[in-house]
Amino acid sequence: MKSLPVILPVTYTLAFPVKNIFSTNTLYGITTKSIILLTKDNNIFYVPTNLLNARRSTKNLDPDKIEVRRIKYEDPFLPPYEAVIPFIPEKVLNHKLELSQIEEVVVHASKYESTCYVTCIGNDFYYLEYSPDKGFDRLSCSQSSMILIGFITVALFLIMILKGKAKNQEKVDQFLLN
C-alpha cells in the first residue's frame, strides 16, 4: 500500500505590522528565494527562507502544543521552530535611509543568478541590489585571485600539451598507414 504524502502545517506571525509582501526572483530561478516585507514604517525587511522552513526542529516546544506527527521531517542545520518572526535590524535592507510613504516595491531579476533588484516607489525612490543567495555566481573576498589565475594557467598548459600529443599521434598514424 502506498503511503500518502505528509503535510507539515506550520504557522508564523510577525512581531511588527506589514504593508505588503514580495518574493525575490532571479534570472533562472535556481538560487534560494527570500521574502521581502514592506513594513508600516517604510522599512524594507527580508526574511530568509530558513526561518520559513517547515522542517525546523520542534524539540524545544511544549509537547502538549505540538500536533503529533507519525513521521519526523526535521533538518538539523535549520534553526529551531519559533512561531514569531522577530524584527531583526540587520535584516532591514534600507538600514541607512529613512524612507517616506513607500507605495510600491518592484522586485526583478538581474543578469547574475544570485542577485535581484529591489525598487521602492513612493515619496522617496530607493533602488538596491539584493543577493538572497550570496556567492552563488560570484567570487568571495576570501577566495584568492592568485589561485584562480594559477588554475587557468595550468589548464592552458595542459591543453597545449594534449594538442601536441594529438598532433604526434596523427603523424604516427600517417606513418603506419603508408
Rounded to a whole number of angstroms, the CA Rg of the chain reads 26
Which one has a higher pLDDT value, 145 or 45?
45
User: Are 114 and 150 found together in one domain?
Assistant: no
Number of independent structural domains in the chain: 2
Residue 3 domain flag: no
What does the H/E/C string look like for the chain?
Answer: CCCCCCCCCCCCEECCCEEEEEECCCCCCCCCCCEEEEECCCCEEEECHHHHCCCCCCCCCCCCCCCCCCCCCCCCCCCCCCCEECCCHHHECCCCCCCCCEEEEEEEECCCCCCEEEEEEECCEEEEEECCCCCCCCCCCCCCHHHHHHHHHHHHHHHHHHHHHHHHHHHHHHHHHC
User: Are 105 and 151 found together in one domain?
Assistant: no
Structural domain that includes position 169: 139-178
How high is the mean pLDDT of the chain?
78
Q: How confident is the model at residue 98 (pLDDT cuts 50, 70, 90)?
A: confident
User: Are 58 and 101 found together in one domain?
Assistant: yes
User: Are 111 and 158 found together in one domain?
Assistant: no
pTM: 0.61
